[in-house]
Amino acid sequence: MTDTSADLVVLGGGSGGYACALRAAQLGLSVVLVEKDKLGGTCLHRGCIPTKALLHAAEVADAARDGDQFGVKSSLEGIDMPGVNSYKDGVVSRLYKGLQGLVKSRGVTYVEGEGRFVAPNAVEVNGQRYTGRNVVLATGSYSRSLPGLEIGGRVVTSEQALALDYVPEKVVVLGGGVIGVEFASVWRSFGADVTIVEALPRLVPAEDEFLSKQLERAFRRRGIKFKTGVKFTGATQSASGVSVTLESGEQLDADLLLVAVGRGPSTSGVGFEEAGVRMERGFVLTDERLRTNLPNVYAVGDIVPGLQLAHRGFQQGIFIAEEVAGRNPQPIDEAGIPRVTYCEPEVASVGLTEAATRERYGSAETITYDLAGNGKSQILKTAGAVKLVKAPDGPVVGVHMIGARVGELIGEAQLIYNWEAYPEDVAPLVHAHPTQTEALGEAHLALAGKPLHAHG
């Protein structure tokens, strides 16, 4: 076995791993990037990108079906799933080609194969050992299931759901978090009968309670059924369908059961424990500088406890590259990472919820601006709101939004949070008219005590 050494050996080529490799190479370090599957990882091939393509197709379907309300005579003839899939796969393959080119052009040594962390400074892959002055663990996550719930046949995870070549007539979605509500939204737009089952008391339970209530109201209007605060007890498959039983004794029959109960860290069988990496429930524990308990070994992305988001992994990867290159970067504030759920209507937030603010500061000031007062939202015929949360005598610490396209507003929202803006700082800024960003401006005017338009 030959031994190759580099400044940085990265195990995993998803958002966190490839961002780390590219930034490190840019900073003049020698880099080895190891990936067993495809460069780009879950996000590009089985996550963010393909699901958002489906959600866009769903939006087009809704627009065609509802053209009448805009005086446009359009109707929906049907959904051609092979056509939808070829559009989705085209988007993925163009991005994949671009990413491959980028890694090649930056001089990163790319190794395809299943890597194993064999010593505190070495990764073994295809019988070859790569020793790094620094090692980055970036092995990502997998779709979890529940104990006793076998994936297969009519019981699928998001991975199989993305490859379906038909629209199921009836679907039960197990899990009302981000992945669950996004798929529920797609299938409803495509004409399916959808029921979400969530064990926690509300949909998108990690969001501010206000957003959950608003989303539930919107889903009711769309005819998406959901049962919250109820536990799943079992599923049985037959040739014609799947039967789901709940703790309440209720039974739901469907063509398909989507298991969307979250993602687990892909850390078993890759040598982490044997090498002495400190772990908890399968996650790799790090400090705020993403260092593990082993010297010069870092961890990034979905294997580190916290939000499992591609852009979090991406930013962490850049942070580690700069850290290793001696740039001494600022630690990432987890609350400052924007969160978007791309169902219809969209849900977007950054910073603390009202409950978390009260817990941290003892009290909170909030204001809610209804999108009914926003010109562009009226044009788009979307309902929703912007809710701001402010620390007592302090800056805005939470921005929570719901409505069509509000994911696009999160850029300004995260600046407001991350730059610790006070309502008075944002109020005088000019927002273009008519745009939905005006809703952010109006909400800050109101919070600064000078609302221009009367408020509900």
247 labeled binding residue? no
193 labeled binding residue? no
175 labeled binding residue? yes
Task: Give the three-class secondary structure for 62.
Answer: helix
302 labeled binding residue? yes
Task: Report which of 108, 131, 88 is spatially closest to residue 13, judged by C-alpha positions.
Answer: 108
124 has which bridge partners? 116, 129
241 labeled binding residue? no
Half-sphere exposure of 117 (CA within 13 A, CB side): 27
Neighbours of 10 (CB within 10 A): 34
306 labeled binding residue? no
179 labeled binding residue? yes
Exactly one of 433, 444, 453, 455 is catalytic; name it.
Answer: 433
78 labeled binding residue? no
71 labeled binding residue? no
Q: 101: Cβ–Cβ under 8 A, 6 or more apart, which residues? A: none
Alpha-carbon gap, residue 381 to 70, rounded angstroms: 9
| Region for residue 43 given its phi and psi (left: phi exceeds 0; alpha: psi -120 to 50; beta: otherwise) | alpha
Is the CB of residue 76 less than 8 Å from the CB of residue 65?
yes
141 labeled binding residue? yes
249 labeled binding residue? no
Alpha-carbon gap, residue 94 to 73, rounded angstroms: 34
Q: Is 433 a catalytic residue?
A: yes
264 labeled binding residue? no
**Alpha carbon distances (Å) from 80 to 166, 190, 244:** 8, 10, 28
* Binding-site residue positions: 52, 115, 139-141, 175-182, 198, 262, 302
Report the catalytic residues: 433
* Binding-site residue positions for NAD(+): 175-182, 198, 262
* Binding-site residue positions for FAD: 52, 115, 139-141, 302
